[in-house]
């Protein structure tokens, strides 16, 4: 047990250690364990997935549609959105978590760091419970390795990429994960005021990340465009594929869902559309190990389904917690987004509809037609029948025999 920090009590340390979930037995046996010779940094990631998929990927490996699969060992710890912390790999071993990376001239940061994954997305808020657990874990690791708050960095700070359509040289911005990480909320004080590799000319700056982590530049404007909108995975005039996905923009596992419903993997965009011609409101989905056709079929339905790849955030974006996003849980409970404590607690198979008002109860006095008007037969009108059966209006044959208690949900007008 490390010596106590002035910010944490003995009981907090003991409670954290007691609740730590040992997940090491789930590690892929093909992962080769190598003892790390030194530890200089702690790297914070956001997994860009829900909890179940995060635990599977970091332990078992990443599966690519080409058939290639990594051997796992992609983090030392995972922290769920409810604060529960999982030990994936003993901290003495090297985890393959940072990829192409550099900090202060040191390359291959995986060789000299501990990797912590926060289940969730860089476009979604990190929870209070996650910050509490992360703060304690960082405090324990800092004392064990005799490092400081200044040695805690995000993956987006240390990752770098090769030249691409947005950058003519090696550059920051290959990763976006943990861009939303607030150091103060994790109890940390000291921090870097600049990027040492950009300052030394080893890398080009990413203007958005530089502004997020270091504030406005002291000497002249940063290169490239305006910062993207925070908290959105939709393409806009200022939110490019690069702003959202970083170096994963052209990967097969990054799927682009176009406004018309068509889906394309990142490695097909350049040849079929071109990066400068992606339409506004194209949705960018990271870390998809299902085919684009599966995502496309789901996108074309009004009723979405929670899976290991498609969380509420994937389907609804920032609207996941609004009253107009309605969840239908396998238990039969129906709840608006504002009443869901956290999307990561939702069981697989939970259905949701986005951008709806209701429910409106159908009675003898108030018929489906009286509630919905001419839209009562529309594919956009959702009926919640007995036992949680959901049907769209165009799938109902006989409206005169709807079960007692049937309810209607109506789509909100556009805009």
- Please report the pLDDT score of residue 221 as a whole number: 44
Which CATH architecture best describes the domain 10-214?
3-Layer(aba) Sandwich (3.40)
Is the predicted pLDDT of residue 83 greater than 50, yes or no? yes
Q: What is the pTM of this model?
A: 0.82
- The share of the chain scoring above pLDDT 90, in percent, equals 61
Q: Which of 58-62, 167-171, 194-198, 284-288 has the lowest mean pLDDT?
A: 284-288
Q: What are the tens digits of pLDDT across the range 140-181?
A: 999 999 999 999 999 999 999 999 888 899 999 999 999 999
Q: Extract long-range pairs of 308-312: CB within 8 Å, 24+ residues apart.
A: 308/49, 308/50, 308/52, 308/53, 308/56, 308/348, 309/49, 309/53, 310/285, 311/49, 311/50, 311/343, 311/344, 311/346, 312/337, 312/340, 312/343, 312/346, 312/350, 312/352
Q: Where are the domains of the chain?
A: 10-214
Q: Are strands 171-172 and 160-161 parallel, antiparallel or unpaired?
A: antiparallel
Q: What are the tens digits of pLDDT across the range 49-72?
A: 889 999 999 999 987 666 678 899
Q: What are the tens digits of pLDDT across the range 208-235?
A: 899 899 987 665 444 443 333 346 788 8
């Amino acid at each position: 047990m490390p010596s106590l920090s002035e910010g944490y009590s003995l009981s907090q340390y003991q409670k954290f250690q007691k609740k730590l979930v040992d997940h090491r037995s789930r590690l892929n046996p093909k992962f080769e364990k190598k003892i790390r010779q030194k530890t200089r940094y702690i790297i914070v990631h956001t997994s860009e997935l829900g909890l179940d998929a995060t635990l599977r990927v970091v332990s078992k490996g990443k599966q690519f549609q080409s058939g290639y699969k990594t051997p796992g060992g992609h983090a030392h710890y995972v922290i769920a959105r409810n604060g529960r912390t999982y030990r994936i790999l003993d901290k003495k071993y090297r985890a393959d978590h940072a990829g192409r990376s550099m900090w202060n001239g040191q390359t291959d940061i995986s060789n000299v760091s501990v990797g912590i994954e926060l289940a969730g997305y860089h476009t979604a808020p990190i929870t209070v419970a996650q910050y509490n657990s992360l703060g304690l874990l960082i405090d324990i690791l800092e004392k064990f390795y005799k490092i400081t708050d200044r040695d805690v960095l995000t993956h987006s700070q240390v990752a770098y990429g090769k030249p691409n359509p947005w950058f003519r040289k090696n550059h920051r911005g290959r990763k976006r994960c943990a861009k939303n990480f607030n150091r103060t909320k994790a109890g940390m004080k000291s921090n870097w005021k600049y990027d040492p590799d950009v300052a030394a000319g080893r890398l080009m700056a990413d203007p958005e990340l530089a502004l997020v982590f270091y504030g406005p530049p002291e000497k002249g404007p940063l290169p490239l465009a305006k910062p993207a909108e925070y908290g959105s995975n939709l393409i806009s005039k200022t939110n490019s594929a690069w702003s959202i996905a970083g170096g994963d923009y052209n990967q097969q596992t990054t799927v682009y869902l176009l406004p018309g419903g068509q889906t394309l993997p990142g490695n097909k965009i350049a040849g079929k559309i071109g990066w400068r011609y992606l339409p506004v409101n194209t949705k960018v989905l990271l870390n998809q190990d299902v085919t684009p056709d599966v995502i496309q079929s789901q996108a074309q339905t009004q009723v979405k389904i929670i899976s290991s790849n498609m969380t509420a955030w994937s389907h609804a974006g920032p609207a996941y917690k609004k009253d107009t996003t309605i969840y239908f849980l396998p238990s039969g409970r129906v709840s608006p987004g504002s009443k869901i404590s956290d999307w990561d607690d939702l069981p697989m198979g939970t259905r949701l509809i986005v951008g709806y008002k209701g429910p409106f109860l159908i009675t003898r006095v108030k018929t489906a037609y009286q509630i919905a008007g001419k839209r009562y037969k529309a594919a956009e009108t959702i009926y919640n029948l007995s036992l949680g059966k959901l049907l769209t209006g165009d799938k109902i044959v006989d409206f005169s025999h709807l079960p007692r208690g049937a309810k209607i949900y109506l789509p909100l007008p556009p805009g």
